[in-house]
């Protein structure tokens, strides 16, 4: 299944309750279980490559994992030095958060990943961690994986980050839990806050005041985590765009996290004209609920603030922008260049292949909405690019190649797509 030809869709009306579970929360759930004194129970864990790699790493670090296929139970007697190299696969979240978790653990650890992850910058975590005493190294002076970590004693810190990154923030919060005094971390814009919510829910002393998070190191192990992972808004968003661009369509996306740091792309789609409503159904670690999206003609939009709140959805949003009336601009989104692919280049090249006028900037792009035409697009090994252009195919037909990457975050994507469109696979 390395290439797919997608046919244009007729109007559809769907309820989807099987959107892939949240990737950010799934990674964190298995890592944080290692900081607790009892048995953590994780229901609806994302069984995709990125998060299964994190689960495997947690096992290699000595956790006791029982999995009946529905609930994963994890208990730990503390992090053990592993016999294996720890392979994070394609996952930036996995690699960067493990750096924070392992920096203070007893032993030697080697983290690696696939060829895409091994080209992504790691200095953003290795540098601040090393500044508080962590012993890390990697290719290009600690910027590129494979990374090695020798656990060490960490000093208390007051760190001001220049980038709004939940991965960096989470790595530093995990380090702070084992530091020798109270720590503060300040970010330039609020990034997704699952780490703070989940660790607080487990009893950690974490206070958030605007952009500053204060962490008091653990005096004892945390309470076990008992969580049902909600659906991932970043995965749900592909089907939101599908409903927003196929005239006469509507979709209800069930049990999605409604965390405000995660649903900004839905808000942007709403500002473009789509008819969107939200219904809260649960609120434990996270607000969770249903999102209803109904087609309406779209207008262009400018996106320049709170970029980290919709960074992963920008490729899919750019498909909506390409079908909208008028111009859309994305600015301040340089981070897109260091994701699984350089998502500014892959979006720009893909849309140009579909006949859309696009200007590329260092930190974003300008899209002039128009008639998308069928083209052949390569994903460059990037799941979000592959799924975004498949969704564009619902409008005009599309051939997309290099599809295996979709398994990193959304293994049942094609099963759900088949409810809307005919997809034919070729080698």
Ligand X SMILES: C=C(OP(=O)(O)O)C(=O)O
Ligand Y SMILES: O=C(O)C1=C[C@@H](OP(=O)(O)O)[C@@H](O)[C@H](O)C1
- Please name the residues in contact with 19: beta carbons below 8 A apart, sequence gap of 6 or more: 231, 232, 235, 236, 239, 253, 254, 256, 416
Examine residue 90 and tell whether it contacts ligand Y (CB under 6 A): no
- 388 carries a ligand binding annotation: no
| Nearest residue (CB) to ligand Y, 170 versus 318 | 170
> Shortest Cβ contact with ligand X: which residue?
92
| Nearest residue (CB) to ligand X, 92 versus 230 | 92
Residues 279-338 that bind ligand X (CB under 6 A): 312
Examine residue 380 and tell whether it contacts ligand X (CB under 6 A): no
Strand segments (E) across 295-375? 302-303, 327-330, 357-361, 364-368
Examine residue 380 and tell whether it contacts ligand Y (CB under 6 A): no
What is the C-alpha to C-alpha distance for residues 256 and 229, in angstroms, rounded to an integer?
A: 9
| Nearest residue (CB) to ligand X, 93 versus 379 | 93
Residue from 50, 232, 312, 380 carrying the catalytic annotation? 312
Residue 409: which of ligand Y, ligand X, none does it interact with, CB under 5 to 8 A by kind?
A: ligand X
Radius of gyration of the chain (CA): 21
Residue 340: which of ligand X, ligand Y, none does it interact with, CB under 5 to 8 A by kind?
A: ligand X
Q: Name the nearest CA neighbour of 172 among 137, 129, 120, 208.
A: 129
Examine residue 166 and tell whether it contacts ligand Y (CB under 6 A): yes
Examine residue 93 and tell whether it contacts ligand Y (CB under 6 A): yes
**b/e 99-115 (16+ beta carbons within 10 angstroms → b):** bbbbbbbeeebebbbbe
Stretch that binds ligand Y, among 7-15, 273-281, 304-312, 418-426 (CB under 6 A): 304-312
Which residue of 213, 323, 409, 421 would you call a contact of ligand X, by CB under 6 A?
A: 409
- 232 carries a ligand binding annotation: no
What is the C-alpha to C-alpha distance for residues 128 and 309, in angstroms, rounded to an integer?
A: 23
Which residue of 6, 24, 50, 341 would you call a contact of ligand Y, by CB under 6 A?
A: 24
If binding means CB under 6 A, how many residues of this protein chain bind ligand Y?
12
DSSP annotation string for 255-267: EEE--TTT-HHHH
Contact (Cβ atoms closer than 8 angstroms) between residue 114 and residue 90:
yes
What is the C-alpha to C-alpha distance for residues 320 and 255, in angstroms, rounded to an integer?
A: 23
- 24 carries a ligand binding annotation: yes
Q: Name the nearest CA neighbour of 400 among 417, 425, 371.
A: 425
| Nearest residue (CB) to ligand Y, 335 versus 342 | 335
Examine residue 399 and tell whether it contacts ligand X (CB under 6 A): no
Contact (Cβ atoms closer than 8 angstroms) between residue 335 and residue 341:
no
Compute the least distance from the CB of residue 23 to ligand X, in Å.
6
Examine residue 21 and tell whether it contacts ligand X (CB under 6 A): no
Q: Name the nearest CA neighbour of 23 among 52, 57, 55, 46.
A: 46
Examine residue 233 and tell whether it contacts ligand X (CB under 6 A): no
Contact (Cβ atoms closer than 8 angstroms) between residue 323 and residue 342:
no
Which residue of 6, 36, 117, 192 would you call a contact of ligand Y, by CB under 6 A?
A: 192
- 219 carries a ligand binding annotation: no
Query: Would you call 68 a catalytic residue per the annotation?
Result: no
Contact (Cβ atoms closer than 8 angstroms) between residue 396 and residue 7:
no
- Please name the residues in contact with 418: beta carbons below 8 A apart, sequence gap of 6 or more: none
Residue 395: which of ligand X, ligand Y, none does it interact with, CB under 5 to 8 A by kind?
A: none
Compute the least distance from the CB of residue 150 to ligand Y, in Å.
25
- 62 carries a ligand binding annotation: no
From residue 329 to residue 348, the character string flagging contacts with ligand Y as x (rule: CB under 6 A) and all else as - is ------x-------------
Compute the least distance from the CB of residue 341 to ligand Y, in Å.
13
- Angle formed by the axes of helices 194-201 and 166-176, to 10°? 30
Examine residue 346 and tell whether it contacts ligand X (CB under 6 A): no
| Nearest residue (CB) to ligand X, 154 versus 190 | 190
- Please name the residues in contact with 250: beta carbons below 8 A apart, sequence gap of 6 or more: 12, 13, 14, 243, 292, 293, 294, 295
What residue has token string 């080698």?
A: 427
Tokens of 224: 């076990």
What is the C-alpha to C-alpha distance for residues 417 and 402, in angstroms, rounded to an integer?
A: 17
Examine residue 339 and tell whether it contacts ligand X (CB under 6 A): yes
What is the C-alpha to C-alpha distance for residues 257 and 26, in angstroms, rounded to an integer?
A: 12
Positions marked catalytic: 312
Interface residues toward ligand Y, by CB under 6 A: 24, 93, 165-167, 170, 191-192, 308, 311-312, 335
Residues forming the annotated binding site? Answer: 23-24, 28, 92, 120, 165, 167, 312, 339, 343, 384
Residues forming the annotated binding site for phosphoenolpyruvate? Answer: 23, 92, 120, 167, 343, 384
Residues forming the annotated binding site for 3-phosphoshikimate? Answer: 23-24, 28, 165, 167, 312, 339
Interface residues toward ligand X, by CB under 6 A: 91-93, 312, 339-340, 384, 409
């Amino acid at each position: 299944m390395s290439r797919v030809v997608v046919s244009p869709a007729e109007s559809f009306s769907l309820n989807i309750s099987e959107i892939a579970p949240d990737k950010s929360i799934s990674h964190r759930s298995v890592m944080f279980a290692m900081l607790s004194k009892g048995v953590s129970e994780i229901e609806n864990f994302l069984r995709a490559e990125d998060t299964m790699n994190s689960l495997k790493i947690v096992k290699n670090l000595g956790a006791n994992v029982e999995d009946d296929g529905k609930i994963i139970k994890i208990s730990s007697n503390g992090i053990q030095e592993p016999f294996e190299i720890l392979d994070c696969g394609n996952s930036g979240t996995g690699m960067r958060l493990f750096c924070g978790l392992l920096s203070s653990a007893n032993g030697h650890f080697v983290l690696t990943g696939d060829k895409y992850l091994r080209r992504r910058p790691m200095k953003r975590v290795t540098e601040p961690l090393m500044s508080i005493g962590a012993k890390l190294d990697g290719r290009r002076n600690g910027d590129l994986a494979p990374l090695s970590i020798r656990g060490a004693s960490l000093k208390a810190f007051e760190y001001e980050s220049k980038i709004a990154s939940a991965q960096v923030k989470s790595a530093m919060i995990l380090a702070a839990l084992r530091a020798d005094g109270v720590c503060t971390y300040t970010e330039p814009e609020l990034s997704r806050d699952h780490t703070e919510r989940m660790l607080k829910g487990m009893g950690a002393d974490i206070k958030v005041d605007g952009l500053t998070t204060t962490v008091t190191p653990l005096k004892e192990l945390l309470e076990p985590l008992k969580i049902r992972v909600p659906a991932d808004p970043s995965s749900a968003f592909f089907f939101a765009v599908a409903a927003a661009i196929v005239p006469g369509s509507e979709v209800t996306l069930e049990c999605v996290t409604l965390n405000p740091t995660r649903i900004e792309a839905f808000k942007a789609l709403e500002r473009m004209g789509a008819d969107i409503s939200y219904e809260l159904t649960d609120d434990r670690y996270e607000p969770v609920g249903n999102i209803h999206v109904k087609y309406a003609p779209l207008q262009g939009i400018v996106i320049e603030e709170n970029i980290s709140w919709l960074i992963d959805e920008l490729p899919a949003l750019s498909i909506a922008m390409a079908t909208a009336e008028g111009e859309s601009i994305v600015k301040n989104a340089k981070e897109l260049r260091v994701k699984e692919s350089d998502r500014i280049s892959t979006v720009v090249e893909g849309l140009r292949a579909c006949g859309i006028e696009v200007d590329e900037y260092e930190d974003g792009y300008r899209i002039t909405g128009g008639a998308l035409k069928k083209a052949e697009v390569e994903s460059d090994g990037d799941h979000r690019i592959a799924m975004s252009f498949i969704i564009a195919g619902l409008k005009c037909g599309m051939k997309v190649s290099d599809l295996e990457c979709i398994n990193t975050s959304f293994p049942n994507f094609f099963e759900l797509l088949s409810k809307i469109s005919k997809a034919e696979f070729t080698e």
